[in-house]
Structures are given as structure tokens and as C-alpha cells.
């Protein structure tokens, strides 16, 4: 049946175009090349099932493309194009893989600032949808995506094949990068980091850009040659971002429970204050963080940054050499 007359294909296209219109209305996808990628890459092929509602990890909340109930199939298709993250893989009650919110993906891809002919390494394959968008923009040969979990990479290869894209899909430790396909002009992570892995810098060309979730924010690092090897520095975007952690590296202290002792509830629940606590880790106790928070007039994410140089990495407020700097672990 012709895709123009196939009821399912027509419905999927309408949902996809509606998703893109919503993303554009929200201020993203100003680049025609990225808009074309989101218009043409079918997200539903990458989420043949996912968990919805209050039943994440429970079969009652599983929506499936081949559900015998036509009503549930319709819910699945509409949900596949909703501007929301989708839980796609649960193990022992823990979320280990998801398909990110499309509007956030669009903003991240635009901030990556790719150019024709550049090579990109994606850390965290997920469903494969982000790799497909990159491959649509740059070509299959320019894109490498890596994930630690062989079940995730195997499923992503199937999804990518169904969508007609064939970037390199590697099963391995993303914290180590993937030297055989480097050097890279861009590295993008779709998992939260506890620190920035040094192997990424070593596999980047000078002038490369790294974009990664960190402490409920998104850090954009610019790589350059320093007197003692590669170094990198950059600021956070103002955008909040919540991703599953990068596996293979130790997690930083979670911001919950006793970490908020002595902090007024309305501040402890503030997203930007919790970002500050997550970014500084054990370097600041809650009262020190509260004092800084008030003194600096509730700083937003964009006032913070990260520097990697001379074997050290640290987070900072306003100025890498200023009075407010906190060491990060180094791997």
C-alpha cells in the first residue's frame, strides 16, 4: 500500500509534523537542516514499546505497537510523538534507558553546532533515535554511537535499520570513548556525567565541542591544545536536563535527604539550588551552599562552568580563576 494512502503511515506523519510544529513554536529547530531531520526521521520506529503513566516497569503501563487493542495502539502512536521522554528499558525496577524529550533533543543538537564533514561520537545510544537524527544531518559514516549494554545496542541497530540509517553502533564503555572512529569534531552525551572523562578530550580535534548533561544541566565544552596537552572549558546552558547516569563511572552524591538538612523547604525544592548542590558535590555542605546562593542572588545555570586543564577538572561560578571553584573527580 502506498504510504500516502496507508492509514497508519498517514496518521504517523500527521503526529510527527504536529510534534515538529510544537518544537518550532517553543523556539527550537530554527536550523532548516535539523527541522528536516525531525520531520523525516520517524520516532515511532525507535520506540516500538515504552512505559507510560504510573506503571513504569509494569506491564499495565506498557504501550506496544502490536497491541491487539486498536485503542491502545493509537495511544502508543500518539505517545511516540508526544514532546515527553519515554521510558523504554527497565531492569530490576531501575530505569536504564529512555528516549529523551524531543524538544530537548532538538536544543541539544542545535547547540552541538555541527558542520558538514564533521565526525560525531554519541555517548549513550538509547533507542537510536538521536543517532538517526545525526545520521540524517551528517551521513551514516560521520556518526558513531556507543553504549555499555549489548541489549540496548542490538535493539538500536534494528531500529536504525528499519529507519534506513546505518551509523556505527558500538557496544562498549562510553567513558572510554571509541578511538578507532576518531578523532571527533563533536561529542554529545545523552546520559548524566559525574565528571568529564579525559579520554574524550584525547579523541577530539582542537576546536571540538563536547555537550553533555551534568548536575541537572547541560555543559558545553570547547576543546583546545594547551601547554601540557588537550584542555577544555565552557559554561552551562540555562536549560534544565535530567538523564539516566552514565554507567561505568562512579555516581556523585545524590541531592536528597540529609543533604538538605537546615535548608528552608522552599529553597531546598528550588531547581537551581539543587543544581548548585549537585554540581559542587561534597565541596559545599548545604549551609555553605545556601550562604553562597543568597550572596550571589540565586545564580542561574549559565553563570556556572567547568574547566579541564593540567590533569585537573573543576566547576566554577562566573570565572574559572575566581573565588568560587570546586574540584571534580577525574576519570
Answer for the pair 197, 176: CB distance below 8 angstroms, yes or no: yes
Cell numbers 510544537 correspond to 22
* Partners of 144 in the β-ladder: 121, 168
Select which of 97, 100, 103, 127 is catalytic. 97
* Integer angstrom CA distances of residue 61 from 54, 76, 87, 150, 283: 7, 11, 10, 25, 40
* Host H or E run for residue 104: helix 102-112
Answer for the pair 188, 122: CB distance below 8 angstroms, yes or no: yes
User: Is 97 marked active-site?
Assistant: yes
Centroid of chain to Cα 229: 27
State the Cα–Cα distance between residues 253 and 260, nearest whole angstrom: 12
State the Cα–Cα distance between residues 152 and 127, nearest whole angstrom: 7
Which residues are CB-neighbours of 211 under 8 A, at least 6 positions away?
108, 111, 112, 186, 187, 188, 189, 218, 219, 220, 221
What burial class does residue 7 get, using C-beta atoms within 10 Å of its C-beta: 0-12 exposed, 13-18 middle, 19+ buried? Answer: exposed
* Host H or E run for residue 146: strand 143-147
* Partners of 217 in the β-ladder: 214
Catalytic residues: 97
Amino acid at each position: 500500500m502506498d504510504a500516502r494512502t496507508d492509514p497508519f503511515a498517514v496518521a504517523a506523519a500527521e503526529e510527527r509534523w504536529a510534534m515538529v510544529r510544537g518544537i518550532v513554536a517553543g523556539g527550537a529547530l530554527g536550523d532548516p537542516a535539523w527541522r528536516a531531520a525531525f520531520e523525516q526521521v520517524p520516532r515511532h520506529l525507535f520506540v516500538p514499546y515504552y512505559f507510560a503513566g504510573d506503571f513504569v516497569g509494569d506491564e499495565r503501563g506498557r504501550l506496544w505497537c502490536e497491541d491487539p487493542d486498536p485503542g491502545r495502539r493509537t495511544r502508543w502512536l500518539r505517545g511516540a510523538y508526544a514532546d515527553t521522554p519515554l521510558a523504554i528499558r527497565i531492569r530490576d525496577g531501575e530505569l536504564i534507558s529512555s528516549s529523551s524529550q524531543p524538544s530537548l533533543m532538538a536544543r541539544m543538537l542545535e547547540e552541538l553546532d555541527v558542520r558538514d564533514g564533521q565526525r560525531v561520537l554519541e555517548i549513550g545510544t538509547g533507542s537510536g533515535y538521536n543517532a538517526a537524527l545525526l545520521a540524517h544531518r551528517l551521513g551514516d559514516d560521520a556518526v558513531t554511537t556507543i553504549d555499555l549494554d549489548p541489549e540496548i545496542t542490538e535493539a538500536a541497530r534494528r531500529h536504525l535499520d528499519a529507519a534506513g540509517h546505518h551509523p556505527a553502533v558500538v557496544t562498549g564503555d562510553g567513558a572510554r570513548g571509541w578511538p578507532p572512529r576518531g578523532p571527533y569534531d563533536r561529542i554529545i552525551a545523552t546520559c548524566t556525567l559525574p565528571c568529564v572523562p579525559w579520554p574524550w578530550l584525547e579523541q577530539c580535534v582542537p576546536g571540538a565541542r563536547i555537550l553533555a548533561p551534568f548536575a541537572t544541566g547541560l555543559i558545553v565544552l570547547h576543546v583546545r591544545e594547551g601547554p601540557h596537552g588537550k584542555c577544555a572549558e565552557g559554561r552551562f546552558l540555562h536549560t534544565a536536563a535530567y538523564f539516566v547516569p552514565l554507567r561505568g563511572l562512579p555516581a556523585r552524591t545524590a541531592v536528597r535527604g540529609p543533604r538538605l538538612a537546615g535548608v528552608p523547604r522552599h529553597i531546598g525544592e528550588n531547581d537551581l539550588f539543587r543544581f548548585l548542590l549537585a554540581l559542587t558535590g561534597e565541596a559545599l555542605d548545604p549551609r555553605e551552599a545556601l550562604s553562597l546562593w543568597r550572596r550571589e542572588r540565586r545564580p542561574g545555570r549559565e553563570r556556572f562552568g567547568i574547566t579541564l586543564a593540567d590533569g585537573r577538572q573543576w566547576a566554577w561560578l562566573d570565572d574559572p580563576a575566581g573565588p568560587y571553584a570546586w574540584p571534580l573527580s577525574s576519570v
